[in-house]
Structure 1
Amino acid sequence: MKVYSLEKSDKSKTGNDGFVQKRNFMNETHWIFIGLLPVMVKSNLCLLHSLNESECLFDAGGYFLVKGMEKVFIAQEQRCLRRLWISDRPCWTISFMSEIKRRRIYIKLVESTRSEDFSESKIITISFLYATMPVWLLFFALGISSDKEVFDMIDMQDCDASVINTISATIKESDKLCEDFRKSDKARQYVDELVKSSRFPPAESFDDYIARFLFPDISGNRNKALFLGYMVKCLLMAFTGKRKCDNKDDFRNKRLDLPGELLGRELRAQLRLAEKRMVKAIQRDLNSDRELQDLERYIDASIVTNGLNRAFSTGSWCHPYKRAERCSGIVATLRRTNPLQMMSDLRKTRQRVAYAGKAGDARYPNPSYWGKLCFMSTPDGENCGLVKNLAVTAIVSSRVMQPLIESFISCGMSKLNDIPTEHIQRMDKIFLNGNWVGSCENSASFVFRLRCMRRSSLIDPQVEIKRDKHHNEVRVFTDAGRILRPLLVVENLNKIRKPKGRSFSFHELMQQEIIEFIGVEEEEDIQCAWGIRHLFESEGAISSYTHCELDPSFLLGLSCGIIPFANHNFARRVLYQSEKHSQQAIGYSTTNPHIRVDTLSHQLYYPQRPLFKTVIADCLGRSDYASFGRKNDFARPEYFNGQNAIVAVNVHQGFNQEDSLVMNRASLERGMFRTEHLRSYKADVENKDGTKRLKLKEKIDFGKTESKRGRVDNLDDDGLPYVGASLQTNDIVIGKVSESGEDHSIKLKHTEKGMVQKVLLSANDEGKNFAVVTLRQVRTPCLGDKFSSMHGQKGVVGFLESQENFPFTHEGIVPDIVINPHAFPTRQTPGQLLEAALGKGIACKGTMRYATPFTTASVDVIAEQLHRAGYSRWGSENVLNGRTGERVQSLVFMGPTFYQRLIHMSEDKVKFRNTGPVHPLTRQPVADRKRFGGVKFGEMERDCLLAHGSAANLHERLFLLSDFSQMHICQTCERVANVVMRSVPGGKKIRGPYCGFCKSSENIVRINVPYGAKLLYQELFSMGICLKFETQVC
């Protein structure tokens, strides 16, 4: 997308005798290119907005494409700037916050240095434009004429002695600083002199900087004084304990910055930089008396384009308040292992803290998260509690552009200018986005009529309306970044009782006033029922409820709400499944892999739906907001990342100890959990001219079998392999040479192989050509691969057993997986047992049933269903031993369970080497598998070999195969003798060990030591510490 700005006007003047009689303005608009801005995928400006052919069916967009990478914004939790903030640390303070520092206002209760009486030790001061003064002076500078009018604006009824003393001390302090301050001109002059002598004095006049920096959204000095009095009142009420301090972790005091706000912030920073460069270039021409050129010559469009690309690539974004600082973690690469992982990345939120180790209460759940954020979906480690996921039905509000003042007036509001000062405090205040816009006599009637207008779509449904009974206030919010969630309106539920069997879409329910969006603050005013079932089971209590949950499972996140029987499991296991296993499970990452080029991807060959279903799973993949009761309307199997396996809970000859699994070899050979591994290799193509390519062919022929770097027999004359070629370890996948004949080919590593699936030649935005070769590898589960159920029961394949050796039932059913019985009492996941029992009943009856958290059937219902199907009530069965054919004495619990294959495969983690690179300092093998490093051998491995008495093996691992070295020791002084070139009698020079301390080459022995010990000696010697070695000849 091209961004244009700047309008140029050409003016001409006509006049007689030097006097201008007429002006003719000729405006000519020039569009000037100032940079490129990334466009969000599937937005209105995107080319894919209305394109469905060849696109992924479950790709909803919401991310950006920058330099071929998919980048996604993580919503940032920021302090709400539309509220007053009350704090008691380090002193009692109420602040009016703004992104611009000069607009921030702080009113504090501070100790008076002039007061002689202890009871008058606190005064009220205000910090405005870096100047601090008693707040009483600013009241009179704004035009207030008497103390009584100020008292009326503050409106502190039933004041105690501390408030009276504080106000009296403030008045005395004002009188000492400015005599006759009750005269408006005196107070105005004093405030102006104080502000002009501050650290950053404004250049404007008093009226101008008051209008610009003191509550800029409020017009008129009287209205500004009223809001100032309201701030003083809130501070005094908090000081006396009648009002609570604001909690910074409460979501009513937070807003989410979405991609539009974040991208606009970075764009403004880049435009300021471009403007600065442009002004410097114009000033340079003016100072050198050059003729000014067109404006296009001074604007460097690469500043905006490269700056945004750099920000997307590094994830470093400009700070919301501090221009000199940058924030990290704003942008991340979109992960596409499976659809759930992709959708979870799009719904993540992040709270930025200065130091993650001292986050304090920010990590703990807050009651305001209820229904807005998932309590379980948060990562472990340093980001625990700081990175969160939105609940399933939670949305983030956009800015409401509809003017609401006329609607307020129609509901009974009076403007501030129409109300006398002595009457205004008796009325209920009405705030719009934190600004005091009016008052009303009856706030209950006002709120009721305004909410009726919202339900009937006369005003935007995202408007949040809060009535504060304790402080006689009505707060209305229309700003962006608020989290809203839909709830059922109980009084209108009778509209959908009559037409039974009909399904209603979400928009139809909104139009019929059955569903409305509720914000964090407004939720305090309602009585919400737990669910529709709970609502109708207590018919007598319906009148006490105003709203009802759509479904209790909607309180959870997307990846957490599809877990069956999640409320029966240990909370930590639910967290592992929702944040780890569900996002590491191999599924169907996209439905158009043939037109995509991903660096690394996995595809499950035969994805299946689970036998059960949940309410959230039913909503996946629907094009509209349909209801949950529609028959034969299930989500696509690509949304589920696994297959249904027959799982038996039993021991199997010691091969499934701890978290180990025993899998059926025959099931795997039939294609169970078989996946496809795709890896792409990319190389820049600097030269595509045919004549020069022939010259290169004379130097290096890609048609021969071998080259100096590896096999090239699968490459064509252009250096690229043909589709279907089988490449093995150390083969060259892309042959590339320079014009001088230097080889720059890309070679497969010692653990890589595959079949060529795709060869692509293309060009990027800068016009540079590149080639991409994609290799495909089919992978069957093997020893060491990881699997997991949907209940956090992760296990590693420990043994592949033949089918004939597995136990089987009288019906001939052989399990696919055998897990250890000790997995359930230690990990506390009875939900998996319920899933297996429910799945067995579903398989017998042939109809799917719900396993939604919080609303599932009881254990007795599931047991009765199994009994009717002819099985044991508790899912256990008699089995026969596959080896002997005898009946196993104990009962074995067996049933279908949905299992997921994780991306952690032993083939990707295999690590071996006989020789390779070593560290230049320690001469030990380098780390990292990508660098062909050595196998890690740490303290636990050392202790294991010591326990087994394998001293020779330990000596080989830690010494002979690591950093074997030799050094010479002088037995006379017990110090290290260096190997030097020295002269001997006869004029000859020999090289050998020589002790520099004893000046002799006698009594020197050679010992074997690790090079790390030798390096330690040298480092200590450089610090003046000399070590001595006692040696003994054996």
Structure 2
Amino acid sequence: MTARKEDEMEVDSLDALKQEYYQGKHIAEPVKEIEEKWKLLPAFLKVKGLVKQHIDSFNYFVNVDLKKIVKANEKVTSDVDPHFYLKYTGIRVGMPERTDDDVANRSYTPHECRLRDLTYSANIFVDVEYTRGRQIVKRKNVMIGRLPIMLRSSHCVLTGKNEAELARMKECPLDPGGYFVVKGTEKVILVQEQLSKNRIIVDVDKKNNIVANVQSSTHERKSKTAIYVKNGKIYLKHNSISEDIPVVIFMKALGVQSDREISQLVCGNDHDLHDQFAINVEEASRLRVFTQMQALDFIGAKVKVNRKMGPVIKKTLAEEALEVLATVIFAHVPVENLNFREKSIYAAIMIRRVLIAMTDTVQVDDRDYVGNKRLELAGQLLALLFEDLFKKFNSDLKMNADKVLKKPNRTQEFDIFNQLVLHGDHITSGFIRAISTGNWVLKRFKMDRAGITQVLSRLSYISALGMMTRISSQFEKTRKVSGPRALQPSQWGMLCPSDTPEGEACGLVKNLALMTHITTDQEEEPIRKIAFALGVEDVNLLTGAEIYRPNTFIVLLNGVILGITRRVQHFAKSFRRLRRAGRISEFVSVFVNIHHRTVNLSSDGGRICRPLIIVENGVPAVKQHHIDDLIAGKLTFDDFLKGGLVEYVDVNEESDANIAVYEKDIIPQTTHLEIEPFTILGAVAGLIPYPHHNQSPRNTYQCAMGKQAIGAIGYNQLNRIETLIYLMVYPQQPMVKTKTIELIGYDKLPAGQNATVAVMSYSGYDIEDALVLNKSGLDRGFGRCQVMRKYATMVKRYPNGTYDRLADPPSRESELFNESYDAIEADGIAGVGEPVEAGSIYINKQTPVSTGIDAVPGSAQTVAYKPAPMRYKSPQTGYIDKVLFTTTESDQTLIKVNIRQTRRPELGDKFSSRHGQKGVCGIIVQQEDMPFSDLGVCPDIIMNPHGFPSRMTVGKMIELLAGKAGVLDGSLQYGTAFGGSKVEDMSRLLIKHGFNYSGKDYVTSGITGEPLSAYIFFGPIYYQKLKHMVMDKMHARAR
């Protein structure tokens, strides 16, 4: 007895030892996953992601950038009168208000702007103080222009409203916002992709020479400097210098005079590099340049002089060279009191990079790496535009002031306030012109870009959402280069791998993934202080030998050198710890580059980042109780950030990290854990069920077609009057959903219907992907859609006081009457609900015969009118849906008529499932001739089985299986990427309800009444009707 007890005790003590490590689990048990961890996603999408980056960027522009720009250009002075000045003391943007005289400043809604062709904009107010004669005048709230307001931003009337309030404003709660309404059209500023500024990028040019480029960008100027190799010698090249300068002369001009010091700054103690660099030192002595003054004269002789207006001050060559060196070349490296130390070290590092790259090709950077890219958002682009307009505005004021102040004998004192009000139009029209044409033309930065804005596509809810996450690259589409088009490994989790167009824009136009966020600018000063506190040695106190010591790393902040650190891993760890504790903004990234031996700290805007769960010592920081609190609503996503459980990681830092996709992949070296693997896909590719079972190009095709599917546009779709609206009559939510569908609200505004599909050959009309449709299904409303078209006209006023009029129709008895007047009511406009045929008149407008200014003014002659009716042209009968009478801003009367057609599917209409399987309707068959299953179920669509083998869309087969199981079970199934309902479980459900586990049914022929000689794969698949309809294409085809 006692022996047994002792045995038990021994076992217990062993268990107690094991308990700490195994926590009561068997060693072979699978790793426990955090349940419902994907609930972090909706929490994230509440605060960031999808469209929020546009809105954040715009808010940053209105609340921060505007003030900075005005602060930088706050004073306007005059050359004529030294006492005169105008100073801006503050700037703010109001709420959107209309400028009509009839209604005293009442706020208006975006919907009203869409209907009335107005611009949804708000006033920009400044506070100024200026001199009038000898006294100083202060004025508050002077309006200097109007700024178009982005919907759902902090200055929009829709922000912070609940669903009921939005409904009162006739606005859809699911509408993402993030676009502008300009002259009644919705315009999106697309995300623009660019190479990052202020970073050294080493590249190989066409002649296989090594080039190091840096594109400097500061508030004052943008410029590009290159250091390149030619015949073994290294030169510096810049636009403001007419010839390329040997780098040693450049270094001497920067005040590093001795050849030895230059070599040491560039090469450290590396003898091979010294030998390689020696030829450049000889080049300088060959050109007889030895001192700083000689170098400055050498450069000054080659500087292109700006022929600017104003008094020309004679400068010596050396002064010109000094000015160019201080402010133009490497403009982003600060120079104070002509202390060029920092700039010379920067140049030396750049030369060193070129030298090393000549022998070691690993050092050449990849331009297509996502970490070397920056994305420009609406806020940054508008800031550039406003800066340009504001400077122009001020220079106009100055010119006017000079003009008036020049006149010696003025009767009254000059008041510049009147000028301020007069010029207000420039800023307003500048914004409107840029956004409505999409051309950003800025003289100062020689920037001339077209196609920055596009009209928001409202074909379906998904097409609008997909447009908000689109990234357009400024790369010419005609060049057939594979580099930028390829799928980069660094795009994982940041950009969607499937959602890109086919054809010439393939791979150049990309889309953001689901959890991507784009950063805005952060303040640099606190980061600089923290870096020095963490033991960075200031760069100004160091010699070349110290900078390039073996275990020393250079610390760069946004491309500018701070100093060096000896304990690089300790520095990076401490920095991250501070960030996780919330001492530094969560969007600052730290990245150790082993190849270049640098530590890069980045806080600039436009970097792509995404949230990841932090893992320490092989254990994820997020525990089950955190997720339970999140579901209960006790925690928000920001609490996860503040608590150091989740952090944002940008592309550069991601290459430092070791990221596990699932909990079971965690190893001791793991630093992060993915929140959910399906978030590598974007919003549009997220609609596809089981995309991981499809061949990759099929998912790409579906991304293009999902945007063309006819469905619901928004809750306010029946109040909208747009050029063209396609609406599905009975949209259904899909039987097989994905988590993305729920997150973006596609189940509330779907575009498609669940069709019962039989996969079999039937007649010969289903060859090459054609579909056989069931006539009774069409009678019941399958695939039926409405097409609304807008027809608008203005009732114009003419210079001679005459104007257009609407005439009542001729009476039915008169011989002028014909049936084209049938729809017209007494006011000269067709009545709502009236049918219109081809040739029918829907607005009976008449215009005056003579509109010019008459020779005899004031002659009271009767005005003669000629008919100018608006006729309906489409061959299919339409119905008048809505008539809108309104006025535009310029008080012209505007009439919009919406005409509706209802269409049922016909031969040649295009359908597609969610797997890139598109097909046109080949034949419409009576239900009696269709095959039916032994439950008497008749398919809506018969699909040819030859569509499966070569296309390998297994996802479609699993969707049919899961859909069928869901129908029988009365539940919605999930087909989320890398997860979803398992085939095994679906088969079990089918068997439980008495069906075959493979989804095949016993089917009887509708023609002979005999059973078919094979089992038929039979079940529901979600089909989309696409906007390509025969009706719209039947214009004129070849005979």
Bin of the TM-score, shorter chain as denominator length = 0.7 to 0.9
Cα distance in 2, alignment partners of residues 845 and 462 from structure 1: 46
1:618 equivalenced with 2:618 (yes/no): no
Cα distance in 2, alignment partners of residues 669 and 290 from structure 1: 87
Q: Report what 1:657 is aligned to.
A: 767
Cα distance in 2, alignment partners of residues 80 and 662 from structure 1: 53
Cα distance in 2, alignment partners of residues 420 and 907 from structure 1: 77
Contact 2:132 2:414 in 1 (8 A): no
Cα distance in 1, alignment partners of residues 922 and 489 from structure 2: 44
Contact 2:296 2:322 in 1 (8 A): no
1:807 equivalenced with 2:905 (yes/no): no
Q: Which residue of the other structure, out of 332, 347, 372, is the alignment partner of 1:228?
A: 347
Change (3 A) 1:817 1:242: closer
Change (3 A) 1:409 1:101: closer
| Paired residue type of 2:287 | L
Cα distance in 2, alignment partners of residues 606 and 481 from structure 1: 42
Q: Report what 2:327 is aligned to.
A: 212
Pairing 1:118-197 to 2, within 5 Å after superposition:
122-125=233-236, 127=238, 129-130=240-241, 132-160=244-272, 163-181=273-291, 184-195=292-303
Tell me the CA shift for residue 411 of structure 1. Answer: 2.7
Cα distance in 1, alignment partners of residues 227 and 802 from structure 2: 76
Change (3 A) 1:154 1:608: same
Deviations 1:931-987 (A, max 9, x none): xxxx221xxxxxxxxxxxxxxxxxxx5xxxxxxxxxxxxxxxxxxxxxxxxxxxxxx
Task: Give the TM-score, by structure 2 length.
Answer: 0.77
Q: Report what 2:130 is aligned to.
A: 9
Q: Report what 1:340 is aligned to.
A: 462
Q: Secondary structure at the match of 1:894?
A: strand
Q: Report what 1:22 is aligned to.
A: none
Tell me the CA shift for residue 676 of structure 1. Answer: 2.3
Contact 1:196 1:202 in 2 (8 A): no
| Paired residue type of 1:9 | Y
Change (3 A) 1:843 1:443: same
Pairing 1:983-1022 to 2, within 5 Å after superposition:
none
Cα distance in 1, alignment partners of residues 251 and 763 from structure 2: 86
Q: Report what 1:98 is aligned to.
A: 216
1:387 equivalenced with 2:509 (yes/no): yes
Question: Larger deviation: 787-796 or 509-518?
Answer: 509-518
Cα distance in 1, alignment partners of residues 993 and 681 from structure 2: 33
Question: Larger deviation: 470-479 or 275-284?
Answer: 275-284
Change (3 A) 1:742 1:185: same
1:878 equivalenced with 2:1002 (yes/no): yes
Q: Report what 1:562 is aligned to.
A: 687
Tell me the CA shift for residue 522 of structure 1. Answer: 0.8
Q: Secondary structure at the match of 2:698?
A: helix
Q: Report what 1:477 is aligned to.
A: 602
| Paired residue type of 1:310 | R
Tell me the CA shift for residue 857 of structure 1. Answer: 5.3
Pairing 1:114-513 to 2, within 5 Å after superposition:
122-125=233-236, 127=238, 129-130=240-241, 132-160=244-272, 163-181=273-291, 184-195=292-303, 208-216=323-331, 217-219=333-335, 220-241=339-360, 243-271=362-390, 294-295=415-416, 296-297=418-419, 300-318=423-441, 323=446, 326-354=448-476, 356-401=478-523, 403-417=526-540, 419=542, 422-426=545-549, 427-491=552-616, 493-498=620-625, 503-504=630-631, 505-513=636-644
Tell me the CA shift for residue 741 of structure 1. Answer: 1.6
Q: Secondary structure at the match of 1:341?
A: helix
Q: Which residue of the other structure, out of 836, 840, 860, is the alignment partner of 2:964?
A: 840
Q: Report what 1:64 is aligned to.
A: 180
| Paired residue type of 1:439 | I
Question: Larger deviation: 172-181 or 647-656?
Answer: 172-181
Q: Report what 1:1006 is aligned to.
A: none
Deviations 1:361-406 (A, max 9, x none): 2222222222211122111122112111111111211111363112
Deviations 1:289-341 (A, max 9, x none): 89596444485444443343333333333279962x63322111101111111
Change (3 A) 1:355 1:819: closer
Question: Larger deviation: 838-847 or 443-452?
Answer: 838-847
- Runs (5+) with no aligned partner, structure 1: 14-24, 112-120, 622-634, 912-934, 938-956, 958-1034
Deviations 1:672-698 (A, max 9, x none): 23222222211112369xx99999758
1:720 equivalenced with 2:829 (yes/no): yes
Tell me the CA shift for residue 564 of structure 1. Answer: 0.8
Cα distance in 1, alignment partners of residues 152 and 547 from structure 2: 50
| Paired residue type of 1:332 | Q
Change (3 A) 1:767 1:411: farther
Cα distance in 1, alignment partners of residues 768 and 656 from structure 2: 51
Cα distance in 1, alignment partners of residues 621 and 900 from structure 2: 57
| Paired residue type of 1:795 | G
Q: Which residue of the other structure, out of 780, 783, 789, is the alignment partner of 2:907?
A: 783
Tell me the CA shift for residue 752 of structure 1. Answer: 4.5
Cα distance in 2, alignment partners of residues 169 and 788 from structure 1: 67
Contact 2:962 2:981 in 1 (8 A): no
1:86 equivalenced with 2:205 (yes/no): no
Cα distance in 1, alignment partners of residues 720 and 250 from structure 2: 64
Q: Which residue of the other structure, out of 877, 898, 906, is the alignment partner of 2:1030?
A: 906
Question: Larger deviation: 796-805 or 827-836?
Answer: 796-805
Tell me the CA shift for residue 110 of structure 1. Answer: 2.6
Tell me the CA shift for residue 257 of structure 1. Answer: 1.4
Change (3 A) 1:814 1:752: closer
Q: Secondary structure at the match of 2:348?
A: helix
Q: Secondary structure at the match of 2:152?
A: coil
Cα distance in 2, alignment partners of residues 479 and 706 from structure 1: 75
Higher RCO (CA < 8 A, seq sep 6+): 2
Number of residue pairs aligned between Structure 1 and Structure 2: 866
Change (3 A) 1:254 1:704: farther
Tell me the CA shift for residue 854 of structure 1. Answer: 2.3
| Paired residue type of 1:509 | F
Tell me the CA shift for residue 132 of structure 1. Answer: 3.4
Q: Secondary structure at the match of 1:218?
A: coil
Cα distance in 1, alignment partners of residues 921 and 607 from structure 2: 46
Contact 1:867 1:873 in 2 (8 A): yes
Cα distance in 2, alignment partners of residues 185 and 326 from structure 1: 39
Cα distance in 2, alignment partners of residues 646 and 556 from structure 1: 28
Contact 1:607 1:637 in 2 (8 A): no
Aligned-residue RMSD, C-alpha: 3.3
Q: Report what 2:101 is aligned to.
A: none
Cα distance in 2, alignment partners of residues 433 and 253 from structure 1: 12
Tell me the CA shift for residue 796 of structure 1. Answer: 1.6
Cα distance in 2, alignment partners of residues 165 and 134 from structure 1: 17
Cα distance in 2, alignment partners of residues 371 and 695 from structure 1: 60
Pairing 1:667-678 to 2, within 5 Å after superposition:
667-678=777-788
Q: Report what 1:38 is aligned to.
A: 148
| Paired residue type of 2:216 | S
Contact 2:928 2:1006 in 1 (8 A): yes
Q: Report what 2:842 is aligned to.
A: 733
Cα distance in 1, alignment partners of residues 288 and 900 from structure 2: 83
Tell me the CA shift for residue 12 of structure 1. Answer: 7.5
Tell me the CA shift for residue 524 of structure 1. Answer: 0.8
Deviations 1:31-84 (A, max 9, x none): 654433211111112222234233202112111111110011111111211201
1:516 equivalenced with 2:647 (yes/no): yes
Tell me the CA shift for residue 29 of structure 1. Answer: 4.2
| Paired residue type of 1:727 | V
Contact 1:123 1:169 in 2 (8 A): no
Change (3 A) 1:874 1:562: same
Tell me the CA shift for residue 587 of structure 1. Answer: 1.0
Task: Give the TM-score, by structure 1 length.
Answer: 0.78
Deviations 1:89-124 (A, max 9, x none): 24322222135888433222233xxxxxxxxx5345
